[in-house]
Amino acid sequence: MKILITGGKTATALKLIKAFSNAEILLGDYGDMPKISTSSYAFAALGPWNADVLAHNLLTKCLDNDVDMLLPLYEAEIMALSKSLVLFNEFGLKVLLPENPQPSQNKFKDYCIFNEGKLIYSSIEMQLNSHTNLNGFYSFVNDNKDLALISISNPS
């Protein structure tokens, strides 16, 4: 499985590498990108930032790079992609986002990732109560009782 994680030059994206240890990871970001490739990940250029065509640009990058799953981190990407989930599904691409995202830019230490309600990674031990509809990258808030969808600031 090949996964594209956006915000690839950020510490947030780098934290996610260990969550997908059995996958081929592309860390994508806008603007200049390092030409580094390791056994764990590679960087991918997403071109210049253009908020008007984010979903189209990411769909093209996913198809060009044979990506199976997309995990967007920038808030504008999250909002644009949430409106295009059907299109990505038609191309066989899984986007780790809920249908109606409410992204948060809170600082976090621990996090978890869900795929259609299934916990695929957690940085801490957690109880699965009523998380059946979650999809995406979440941080723990309120003493680990509530979850918030993570996003990062859009590139300038």
Q: Tell me the per-residue pLDDT of 65-104, one tens digit each, with 9 for 90 and over.
A: 999 999 999 999 999 999 999 999 999 999 999 988 988 8
Task: Give the pLDDT confidence score for residue 40 in this predicted structure.
Answer: 85
Q: Pairing state of beta strands 41-45 and 111-115?
A: unpaired
Q: Pick the closest to residue 119 from 100, 103, 138 (CA basis).
A: 138
pLDDT per position as a tens digit, 104-114: 888 888 899 99
Contact 77, 58 (CB under 8 A): yes
Q: What is the pTM of this model?
A: 0.91
* Cα distance between residue 131 and residue 114, in whole Å: 9
pLDDT per position as a tens digit, 49-65: 999 999 999 999 999 99
Q: How confident is the model at residue 130 (pLDDT cuts 50, 70, 90)?
A: low
Q: Residue 142 pLDDT more than 80?
A: no
Task: Give the pLDDT confidence score for residue 140 in this predicted structure.
Answer: 83
Q: Which CATH class is domain 2-95?
A: alpha beta
> Cα angle at 77 between 75 and 81, to 5 degrees?
125
Contact 147, 138 (CB under 8 A): yes
Q: Pairing state of beta strands 94-95 and 69-71?
A: parallel
Angle between helices 75-82 and 54-64 (to 10 degrees): 90
- pLDDT, the chain, mean: 90
